[in-house]
Chains A and B, each alone.
Chain A
Amino acid sequence: MANDVLVVAERSGGQLTDITYELLGKAKELAGAAGGRAAVALIADSSGVDSLGAADVVYTVEGPGLEGYSPEAFEKALGAVVDAADPRLVLMGTSTLGLDLGGSLSVSWGAPLASYVIGLDTEGSDIVATSQLYGGKLLAEAVIDGPKAVCTVIGGSFPADAGRAGGSPEVVQVDAPAGLSELKARFSALREPDRSGVDITTADLLVSVGRGIGSQDNLELVEELAGALNAPLSASRPIIDQGWLPKPHQVGKSGQKVKPKVYLCFGISGAPEHLEGMRNADTIIACNTDENAPIFDVAHYGTTTDLFDLVPELVERLGS
């Protein structure tokens, strides 16, 4: 209905993930203010309804073609749910799901789209979305005044607790859309990352390095420090993508979530996707020559000393 807010649920390993509850909590608040309902779309898998008590209604859609994950199949299924639910606002995570489906829904449904959202409010009948742009360096406050909108939200922006409640919301089964039998893209397999070798998720202390290190040869410097501290070396994504360290060393959205006692990082800017993996560390100490780097917003201690000056000093004090 016209004032409803629809959340697209996400799963990992079959379980509904935090982002689903984060969005549902927000949906409840926004829909409540406008006299609408909070709704959840369960695509492909209808389990978990009993954990969605914060919702007024849950739409489910199942059918052949939705096994595994394929953006094309999910796009069609989401289209069917949106047609049935006719909401004011559709919320999803800025995850692979949101990157796949946000834009295409915006085009097919004819709705404006705000991505990288970290704040959502209403002003009269308008929706005001605050988005994190330029790697977290700037925020954009944008107004959506039409009858429809799509927002993709950065994980961790809203509390999940508000969306976690047991109960038995109304369940509406949506017919699988016709196109599922003639898909052009087919899911074939899931591959789990190689988790052998280092496990950065259990360490009390991590020495982490980002693109500020400049070159593979320079890695030796931080390796020496990690050795002296008896801590594993972790890294931001560009270090992994360039093949300088193997994937299990990656911290962030598409890497590992870590929560060490101390996260000591060098030359990492603090992009939202990196913060997603480490912002809950007990103590974050960040070295970055750019005093405006977003990493300093989450770090407890910071320094703008050049890492090439600082790391050797640290190594010298620790001996090897």
Chain B
Amino acid sequence: MRIVVAMRQLADLVEELEVDDSGTDIDREFVKFVANEFDESALEEALLIKEGVGADQVEVVAVALDEPDVDQTLYTALAKGADKAVKLAGVPEGWVSSHTRASAIAKWLESQQWDLVITGVQAADDLDGQVAGLLGRMLGVPHVAVVVSAVPEGNVVKVSQELGGGTVAEEEVAMPAVLGVQAARQSPRYAPITRIRQAMQAGGLSEETVEVSGDGGRPTVRRLYAPEKSGQAEMLTGSAADVADKIIELIRAKGLVKS
């Protein structure tokens, strides 16, 4: 069984994001790029499947478009237990649309044998939809989003999908299929730096060029901007002790603190 894990880089949301001069994209120059957190869960689920089915029977291939700092993410995937990592060159720079991403991966998959594609349920800049649904449709195979568990059994994969409010639907999906993972059965494992260094030295990262087709599925962005501060929050200032005093006062005013 061969599982392809589609991963990507994303601006670190903890950082301040500035809009560039065009006014339609973030300023990518000084931003830190990190792996999309949902893709890390996708990789974890793939590794759990590999461990569950048998390490010698499952091959896990991590694939990513060539984007800033993506080597780090792919080497980390290898260090965690992926068998192969592939970087797809030939993609445009900047804000790559979900339709372009999906079509690049679909194109590459034509040359591959695979049973499952697992990717993150979403990324924070998915303006034109999420890759799993787009890719599933492009490949003409079933796809499921918001997956929280995937366990193969023969030629089907038993999938748990979260609906609203924590309700989970169980589905049996014939492979090949595409899954968008929300959370893996366990939180993503940690790769020690030494293991990542080993992976880098072993050089298990291959590069292939893909043909990329247009951006047709994405509406034209004419403005990207920070939401106006509704100014709703009244900011409590001063030392930690001052702020603590004010918070207690607020809660007490609601009758929720006894003394």
Contacts and interface: CB of A to CB of B under 8 A. Distances in A.
Interface of A: 12, 17, 68-72, 75, 95-96, 99-104, 106-108, 111-116, 129, 131-145, 149-150, 152, 184-193, 204-205, 229, 231, 237, 241-243, 247, 250, 253-257, 261-262, 264, 269, 282-283, 285-286, 290, 292, 294, 296-306, 309-310, 313-314, 316-319
Contacts of A102: 129-130, 133
B193 interface: no
B164 A100 contact: no
B163 A69 contact: yes
B240 A136 contact: no
7 contacts: A115-B130, A138-B225, A140-B224, A141-B224, A185-B177, A191-B160, A264-B247
Nearest to A319: B259
Contacts of A305: 236, 240, 243
A269 B15 CA distance: 12
B229 to A, nearest CB: 7
Given A96-B145, A285-B247, A139 B225 contact: yes
Contacts of A257: 165
Ranked 3 nearest A-B pairs via Cβ? A103-B133, A313-B244, A193-B166
Contact of B226 (A137, A237, A269, A290): A137
Contacts of B229: 296-297
Contacts of A204: 254, 256
Contact of B223 (A140, A185, A187, A237): A140
A250 B250 contact: no
A303 B235 contact: yes
A70 B171 contact: yes
Contacts of B207: none
B227 A317 contact: no
B58 interface: no
Given A112-B219, A138-B19, A229 B257 contact: yes
Contact of A261 (B236, B237, B243, B256): B256
A303 B187 contact: no
A318 B257 contact: yes
- Pick the most buried of A103, A269, A290: most chain B CB atoms within 10 A of its CB: A103
A187 B169 contact: yes
Contacts of B257: 229, 318
A290 B243 contact: no
B24 to A, nearest CB: 8
Contacts, number: 294
A233 B153 CA distance: 38
B244 to A, nearest CB: 4
Name the prevailing secondary structure of the B interface residues. Answer: mixed
Nearest to B176: A184
A297 B230 contact: yes
B202 interface: no
Given A138-B224, A144-B219, A185-B144, A191 B250 contact: no
Interface stretch (B45-53, B69-77, B119-127): B119-127
A254 B220 contact: no
B17 to A, nearest CB: 6
B137 interface: yes
B143 A104 contact: yes
Given A100-B133, A152-B129, A241-B187, A140 B169 contact: no
Contacts of B138: 107
A104 B134 contact: yes
A184 B141 contact: yes
Contacts of B171: 70-71, 185-188
Contact of A71 (B17, B142, B254): B142
B81 interface: no
Given A114-B128, A137-B17, A314 B187 contact: no
Contacts of B224: 133, 138-141
B233 to A, nearest CB: 4
A243 B184 CA distance: 11
A112 B220 CA distance: 10
Contacts of A133: 124-127, 224
B87 to A, nearest CB: 24
B133 A262 contact: no
Interface in B65-101: 98-99
Contacts of B143: 71-72, 100, 104
B219 A192 contact: no
B98 to A, nearest CB: 7
Given A102-B129, A135-B13, A285-B247, A299 B232 contact: yes
B104 interface: no
B191 interface: no
Given A111-B217, A301-B233, 15 more contacts: A71-B142, A71-B161, A100-B145, A103-B132, A104-B133, A107-B134, A115-B127, A141-B225, A152-B129, A189-B169, A190-B170, A193-B166, A237-B183, A292-B16, A304-B235
